[in-house]
Amino acid sequence: MTQELIQSNQYGAINQRKINDIAILDISHVNHNASLSLYGGQVLSWQPSGEQEVFWLSDSADFSYGKAIRGGIPICWPWFGANLDEQGINGGNHGFARTSLWQLIDSEINKQGVSLTLELVGEDRHPLWPAQFKVTQQLFFGSEFSQQLTMENLSNQDVQYTTAVHSYFAVSAPENVTAPELSSVYFDDKLTGLSAQQTALVNCVGPIDRIYHTSENQQIIDAQWQRKILIETQHCQQYVLWNPGKETASTMDDIHTGGENEYVCLEAANTNWQLIKAGEQTSIKQKVSLESL
């Protein structure tokens, strides 16, 4: 495997390698290892020293232009989910950011961790979203992880967006896992089409596909791995909880056999259209940390 050193110092190094034609950055640091793909601007892994991997990546992920990479943190933007307009133009699932090439603008390695800035700039990228825009993604990998997306509307017209940072959290098995704060929150069930449901979440076994209307901090409690994943967000009004379950996963080429038993998606999101006025910007953020049980 050919590697190119991007940056290093006494605390760590960033190397670049390629999968097919896709540039992957590998980070090794005194307190963690991590990797991300410039295609999709997508975090693929983050493993603080002495911990299990935090983000799940499918063994069958398709690293090809035009395809979304299954796992890590796909960026759903400028829309989340399906997007079908009145003329019948179908934008497909989750927008174009996850199938776009992002640029690495800046990186810094220090004792606490590694900071990276990625950018996606464009205009008229899709008939359903012709605006001129810049999205800046600021990532920090250390013993904690944070991710901020700043969305700038560079057009002279207002635009609307929906979004999700579609985190695939690695777990021992969805049946060992719960997210207790969600039990008291109303959700829209994408599988039944029913809105404003409320039921206790016993575990995260799929098929499950729900939009929970809350911006409170969340915990993914994994009884087997004896850890809590803590998630805090800013300017996100929902969380999406998704696991396809065995039957649906077996129809998905980019999930390896049994892969659905290795993760739970809890996606910090804005699933209702949000306005960004002409020339203005807005941002969302998530912070992820770990605790032992």
Site residues (vs ligand BG6, CB under 6 A): 68, 93-94, 164, 166, 190, 209, 240, 242, 267
User: Quick one: 209 or 260, whose CB is closer to ligand BG6?
Assistant: 209
Nearest residue to ligand BG6, scored by beta-carbon proximity: 93
User: Quick one: 178 or 271, whose CB is closer to ligand BG6?
Assistant: 271
- Nearest distance in Å: CB 35, ligand BG6: 19
User: Quick one: 32 or 94, whose CB is closer to ligand BG6?
Assistant: 94
User: Quick one: 69 or 116, whose CB is closer to ligand BG6?
Assistant: 69
In angstroms, the CA 132 to CA 170 distance is: 35
Cite the beta strand spans of 82-180 per DSSP E. Answer: 103-109, 113-123, 132-142, 145-153, 159-165, 168-170, 177-178
- Nearest distance in Å: CB 73, ligand BG6: 12
- Nearest distance in Å: CB 78, ligand BG6: 15
Cite the beta strand spans of the chain per DSSP E. Answer: 4-9, 12-19, 22-29, 32-37, 42-48, 75-76, 103-109, 113-123, 132-142, 145-153, 159-165, 168-170, 177-178, 187-189, 208-212, 218-222, 227-234, 238-243, 263-276, 281-292
In this structure, are residues 153 and 277 in contact, taking their beta carbons and an 8 Å threshold? yes
Q: What angle do CA 268, 272, 277 make, to 5 degrees?
A: 100
- Nearest distance in Å: CB 26, ligand BG6: 24
- Nearest distance in Å: CB 264, ligand BG6: 12
User: Quick one: 26 or 209, whose CB is closer to ligand BG6?
Assistant: 209
